[in-house]
Amino acid sequence: MKIHFDDFIYGSIDGAVTTFAIVAGVMGASLSSTIILILGFANLFADGFSMAASNYQASKARNEFVQMKRKQEEWEIDNLEEQERDEIRDIYREKGFKDELLEDVVRIITSKRKVWIDTMMKEELGLIEDAKNPMHSSVSTFVGFNFVGLIPLIPFMIFMMIGIELNKDAFVYSIAGVCAAFFLVGMIKGKIVKKSMMRSGINTLIIGGIAAIVAYLVGYGLNFLVS
């Protein structure tokens, strides 16, 4: 099993945001920390699973789509040979080839079945095969989602275990933990896409922060309305 860092990162940002949105919504609505833990965990497992499953399906669908297109090109080369040869000719004419040299290029490209099909895939369809294993992608997403998504819940778990109901204190630790997590994950993301780590960390922190404030305000506002 290979952990894909990009999938891990996207899973972890989403996990932290959704879980913290529940924490912030509950706090905004002045509900109990029992509700935070119940819904936090329900969300971690349910949403983590669904995200991983969607990711699996999407990667698999993309691989299958590329394979299907490849089979289609193979069929066309077998059954509409002249037409496909003309397409190669058009592609290379576009690149600046002409006359005898163009014919030579077409002859060489179409003399190897694999080269012919690869050329059609890349040049005609703009498709490049992706070597990513859908299962690895999906597990990376799930692990990231649950690992980082757990952070906002930890202070509430600890406070509950030692038997004190200090929601506000736990909330402060939860905010600190999730901010640190957003910033760190954003920095790692910056490193992966080779951009400024500091800027990427701050960006992720801002997006996560806005989401959390929205959740808090909606929780607060709705609780005010209905009570």
At closest approach, how far in Å is the CB of 37 from a copy of itself? 6
CB atoms within 10 A of CB 9: 23
Cα maximum dimension of the chain = 86
Neighbouring residues of 4: CB distance < 8 A, sequence distance ≥ 6? 132, 136, 137, 140
Given 50, 67, 83, 196, the residue binding a copy of itself (CB under 8 A): 50
DSSP string, 34-83: HHHHHHHHHHHHHHHHHHHHHHHHHHHHHHHHHHHHHHHHHHHHHHSHHH
Site for a copy of itself in 68-127 (CB under 8 A): 68, 95-97, 101, 104-105, 108-109, 111-112, 115, 119, 122-123, 126-127
From the list 13-21, 80-88, 141-149, 171-179, the region that binds a copy of itself by CB under 8 A is 13-21
Site for a copy of itself in 14-43 (CB under 8 A): 14, 17-18, 21-22, 24-26, 28-29, 31, 34-35, 37-39, 41-43
212 binds a copy of itself per the rule CB under 8 A: yes
139 binds a copy of itself per the rule CB under 8 A: no
Q: Give the burial string for 138-160 (b: 16+ CB within 10 Å, else e).
A: bbbbbbbbbbbbbbbbebbbebe
32: left (phi over 0), alpha (psi -120 to 50) or beta: beta
99: left (phi over 0), alpha (psi -120 to 50) or beta: left
215 binds a copy of itself per the rule CB under 8 A: yes
Choice between 29 and 177, CB closer to a copy of itself:
29
Nearest to 10 by CA among 162, 164, 137: 137
From the list 76-84, 150-158, 167-175, 213-221, the region that binds a copy of itself by CB under 8 A is 213-221
Are 192 and 5 in contact by the 8 Å Cβ rule? The answer is: yes
Q: Can you state the percent helix, strand and coil of the chain, rounding each to 5?
A: 85, 0, 15
3 binds a copy of itself per the rule CB under 8 A: no
143 binds a copy of itself per the rule CB under 8 A: no
Site for a copy of itself in 191-210 (CB under 8 A): 193-195, 203, 207-208, 210
150 binds a copy of itself per the rule CB under 8 A: no
DSSP, res 153 = G
Site for a copy of itself in 171-190 (CB under 8 A): none
49 binds a copy of itself per the rule CB under 8 A: yes
From the list 47-55, 80-88, 144-152, 164-172, the region that binds a copy of itself by CB under 8 A is 47-55
164 binds a copy of itself per the rule CB under 8 A: no
Are 177 and 152 in contact by the 8 Å Cβ rule? The answer is: yes
51 binds a copy of itself per the rule CB under 8 A: yes
